A and B are shown apart, each in its own frame.
Chain A
């Protein structure tokens, strides 16, 4: 009786550990794939969050944010890039949405893009928020009052 009980206990521990390993693997998988998060807040108050977006810098004048499913890509064209310490700040002046085989020009009103290409976190001006290493923080507002925010790490390294 005693040996059987021990056997059951050992088996239970093994299965529990296996379950834990599986859980850890499942929990870690999205994190490994995660690139960034985009949030779209419409003037109506509706908020949509898009996880695992892919963020790429194209040269020094364009940023692309692709949805996790690859169906939509926001291209943000920016200029007037200057530096606050090591943190690069640029002003977006045009944004297009490439989706379902068509390109749409969004009516951009204003925005700010912060790019951190260094290996350490940098503090945003007039804020306690930190921009992590090799990451961006983007905020845009359209003429219709839609606010698009994107945060996350750069895919393929920053330029």
Chain B
């Protein structure tokens, strides 16, 4: 009787240990197994499980504590486009760009497919693909630029300061230079190019389509039947582009 109890208890205990083992192994795999298998990147990683009741160990990355009264929520709100970001620019070869639309301003006479009359007689080219109103191209969700990223992230997840290696020409203005970078596939910018059937090329040469996007992100493309050479301001709400030199 006693022997039988001991045997069954041992069996239960061994089963318990067996079943309890996978989560630990899984944690090991998730936490560092993959990295440990790549010694070229990190030599001899020290894998540790988090100590309980300590939160996250990010001591090296934490700046001095912010004051509790600091309105973090307000500071963290996604930035709205400011007029400065879309300020009219002066192009050396074209003179002053007349009456570029301010941030968030949608030309009232924008038309889809083809050319229409915008404020001040600017040519407006509506997105040839989407006709569903604002943000229809983005599942109806408002797109806001993200600081720290070139062009607010419209053309790809390129962090400012890390994109120099992928420079794709530049546009030279009287008051400065705007560098351009390659548009990432699957980005909103790539969708814009696809919708207008444009092919991106490095900025610099004359007679290109120059599109000024959010946060001074600029890209260039070869002209085609839909978009003639010239400078355009992008309205990210409906991917309309407005000619600045007409």
Chain A interfacial positions (CB closer than 8 Å to B): 4, 8-9, 11-16, 18-20, 22-24, 26-27, 30-31, 37-42, 44-51, 60-62, 67-69, 71-75, 77-84, 88-94, 96-97, 99-100, 102-110, 112, 125, 142, 144, 146, 148, 151
Q: Are B53 and A71 in contact (CB under 8 A)?
A: yes
A92 to B76, CA, bound (A): 10
Instruction: Count contacts between A and B, CB distance < 8 Å.
Output: 229
Given contacts A97-B56, A109-B162, contact A91 B157 (CB under 8 A): yes
Q: Are B8 and A72 in contact (CB under 8 A)?
A: no
Q: Are B149 and A47 in contact (CB under 8 A)?
A: no
Given contacts A19-B9, A102-B65, A103-B65, contact A46 B45 (CB under 8 A): yes
Q: Are A142 and B19 in contact (CB under 8 A)?
A: no
Cβ-based interface call for B186 (8 A): yes
Q: List 18 A-B contacts (CB under 8 A).
A: A19-B12, A19-B15, A22-B12, A23-B15, A37-B30, A45-B45, A49-B27, A49-B47, A69-B54, A69-B55, A77-B76, A77-B77, A93-B149, A99-B56, A103-B66, A103-B72, A105-B66, A110-B157
Q: Are A47 and B5 in contact (CB under 8 A)?
A: no
Secondary structure of the A side of the interface? strand
A92 to B245, CA, bound (A): 35
- Interface size range of chain B in the complex: 35 or more
A52 to B22, CA, bound (A): 15
Q: Are B5 and A51 in contact (CB under 8 A)?
A: no
Closest 4 CB pairs of A and B: A19-B12, A72-B55, A49-B31, A80-B153
Q: Which residues of B are found within 8 Å of A39, using beta-carbon distances? A: 30-32
Chain B interfacial positions (CB closer than 8 Å to A): 1, 4-5, 7-9, 11-13, 15-16, 18-20, 22-23, 27, 30-32, 35, 42-50, 52-58, 60-66, 68, 70, 72, 75-79, 138-139, 141, 143-149, 152-154, 157, 159, 161-162, 185-188
Q: Which residues of B are found within 8 Å of A23, using beta-carbon distances? A: 12, 15-16, 18-20
Given contacts A26-B19, A69-B55, contact A80 B149 (CB under 8 A): yes
